[in-house]
């Protein structure tokens, strides 16, 4: 399976992603940029994973060999990296990170300009790396520290908020030092959870799924916190916990934030990732906004945000996108915004969350499949849905079928060899009907999904 994905680069360190590979990626990136720039200025940073300490220097070495000017921003969270890219004169950027993936993975988030990376750009980089069509050059490195500037900007945005007690779970990741400090500077009382750097990401799973944040839920309940925020290891995602210690589904949290933001921005657009509940779109419409569906993936969501001039965007995994961030996302920004919302509304998060409409949605079902097999299954589901004409079929991202009583989605993961499925019904009693309509032509797959949902 290729390490070159639709939106980024991702692989297992020491297996399909080595120092040699990363140096070649650096050479390829600089060579492509030098076709239009004499000496491209590239912002480089990395997350706190142990393998980043080896892969980031290799990337920089490759960039230098092909004549780039590298601005090394150090080891920082991904949102701080994008802050650096937007504030330092530069042409492109590259962040060594595997985001929420398990510790054995690493990778690269990158841009060839000040717009999100495209699939064509990723494909061209893969081609140049495989063919070795590199340009030679003599690059140079400058080192820049941007954390203080980022924290000053964040304080200007959120300083002096109503006092709120909250728990922040960094999972030993990149926000471990910055998040508690920035939240306290905004006026919050912060109870830290796993806020010491852990390069092995062993204190908890780097993916802040509800199943992985039990400690945060306990801390929120036992300390009387107004809410909790769990970040992924590189810091662009956040999952919220209400004051009762209940994890809040990200599309529900998105509905809370969207309705609050739309109060002062009526009629504006909100981008909803294809996995999100129909209840989110309904909540946006009821609040006077215009919901827009988009395929999953950071680059796709950010590009749609920019193209549409959208106010806000929601991805089911806990990415929240903002017009104020030039279409980008930032887990800490979202955590501060939620605290501001609660302070101004004067209502508990559980009450605010329970006021958002809910339909019966399954978790995302992730079935391990090679990408080619997953694509064949998606195409077969689409063909069956079109032939049966029982629902409205969208091929925006995999296949999504809207039925009178709900919807179903199957798509190929952009980061892992996984077939991803989700189902939603207007009420629980209609869920088996939705699954049968979507997968009834393949009894083995249907039974596998139903068994997965029982566990």
Show me where the domains of the chain are located: 9-146, 159-247, 249-348, 360-454
- Each residue's pLDDT tens digit, 138-162: 999 999 999 999 999 999 999 888 8
Backbone angles phi, psi at 77, to 5 degrees: -65, 155
| Superfamily of domain 360-454 in the CATH hierarchy | Alpha-D-phosphohexomutase, C-terminal domain (3.30.310.50)
Of 266, 245, 242, give the one whose Cα is nearest residue 253: 242
Phi-psi region of 398 (alpha: psi -120 to 50; beta: other; left: phi over 0): left
Residue tagged active-site, from 6, 10, 90, 204: 10
- When pLDDT is averaged across residues 301-317 and rounded to a whole number, the result is 97
Residue tagged active-site, from 319, 323, 369, 411: 319
Strands laid side by side in the 69-75 sheet: 9-12, 105-111, 92-96, 41-46, 69-75, 140-143
Pair of tokens at residue 83: 């802050």
**Catalytic annotation on 66?**
no
Write down the H helix ranges in 88-231.
119-131, 147-158, 178-185, 214-222
Q: Judge if 159-247 and 360-454 fold alike in CATH terms.
A: no
Q: Provide the pLDDT confidence category of residue 1 given band limits of 50, 70 and 90.
A: low
Helix (H) or strand (E) holding 71: strand 69-75
**Catalytic annotation on 99?**
yes
Q: Provide the pLDDT confidence category of residue 416 given band limits of 50, 70 and 90.
A: confident
Pair of tokens at residue 259: 């309705």
Q: Regarding beta strands 92-96 and 392-394, do their DSSP bridges make them parallel or antiparallel, or are they unpaired? A: unpaired
Q: What is the pLDDT of residue 38?
A: 94
SS3 at position 69: strand
Residue tagged active-site, from 51, 66, 90, 99: 99
Q: Which CATH architecture has domain 249-348?
A: 3-Layer(aba) Sandwich (3.40)
What is the CATH code of the structural domain delimited by 9-146?
3.40.120.10
User: Is 328:82 a contact under the CB 8 Å cutoff?
Assistant: yes
- Each residue's pLDDT tens digit, 422-433: 999 999 999 999
**Catalytic annotation on 319?**
yes
Q: What is the pLDDT of residue 429?
A: 94
User: Is 175:100 a contact under the CB 8 Å cutoff?
Assistant: no
| Superfamily of domain 159-247 in the CATH hierarchy | Alpha-D-Glucose-1,6-Bisphosphate, subunit A, domain 3 (3.40.120.10)
């Amino acid at each position: 399976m290729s390490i070159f994905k639709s939106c980024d680069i991702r692989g297992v360190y020491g297996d399909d992603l080595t120092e040699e590979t990363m140096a070649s990626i650096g050479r390829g990136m600089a060579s492509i940029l030098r076709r239009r720039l004499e000496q491209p200025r590239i912002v480089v940073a990395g997350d706190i994973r142990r393998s980043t300490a080896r892969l980031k220097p290799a990337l920089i070495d490759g960039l230098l060999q092909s004549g780039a000017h590298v601005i090394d921003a150090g080891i920082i969270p991904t949102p701080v990296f994008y802050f650096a890219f937007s504030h330092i004169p530069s042409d492109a950027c590259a962040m060594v990170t595997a985001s929420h993936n398990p510790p054995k993975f690493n990778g690269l988030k990158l841009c060839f300009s000040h717009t999100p990376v495209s699939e064509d750009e990723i494909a061209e980089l893969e081609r140049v790396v495989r063919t070795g069509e590199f340009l030679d050059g003599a690059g140079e490195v400058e080192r820049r520290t941007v954390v203080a500037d980022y924290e000053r900007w964040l304080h200007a945005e959120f300083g002096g908020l109503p006092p709120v007690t909250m728990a922040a779970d960094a999972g030993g990741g990149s926000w471990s030092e910055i998040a508690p400090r920035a939240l306290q500077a905004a006026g919050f009382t912060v109870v830290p959870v796993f806020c010491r750097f852990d390069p092995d990401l062993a204190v908890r799973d780097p993916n802040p799924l509800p199943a992985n944040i039990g400690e945060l839920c306990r801390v929120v309940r036992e300390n009387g916190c107004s809410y909790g925020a769990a970040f992924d290891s590189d810091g662009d995602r956040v999952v919220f916990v209400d004051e009762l210690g209940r994890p809040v589904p990200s599309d529900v949290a998105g509905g809370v934030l969207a309705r609050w933001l739309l109060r002062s921005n009526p009629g504006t657009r909100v981008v909803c990732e294809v996995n999100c509940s129909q209840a989110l779109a309904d909540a946006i419409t009821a609040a006077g906004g215009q919901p827009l569906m988009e395929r999953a993936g950071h680059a796709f969501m950010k590009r749609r945000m920019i193209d549409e001039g959208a106010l806000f965007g929601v991805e089911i995994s806990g990415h929240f996108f903002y017009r104020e961030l030039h279409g980008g996302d930032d887990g800490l920004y979202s955590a501060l915004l939620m605290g501001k919302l609660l302070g101004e509304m004067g209502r508990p998060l559980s009450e605010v969350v329970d006021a958002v409409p809910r339909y019966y949605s399954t978790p995302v079902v992730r079935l391990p499949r090679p990408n080619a097999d997953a694509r064949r299954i998606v195409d077969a589901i689409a063909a069956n849905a079109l032939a049966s004409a029982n629902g409205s079929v969208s091929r925006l991202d995999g296949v999504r079928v809207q039925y009178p009583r709900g919807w179903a989605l199957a798509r190929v993961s952009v980061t892992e060899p996984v077939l991803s499925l989700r189902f939603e019904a207007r009420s629980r009693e209609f869920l088996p009907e939705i699954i049968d309509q979507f997968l009834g032509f393949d009894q083995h797959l249907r039974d596998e999904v139903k068994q997965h949902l029982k566990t």
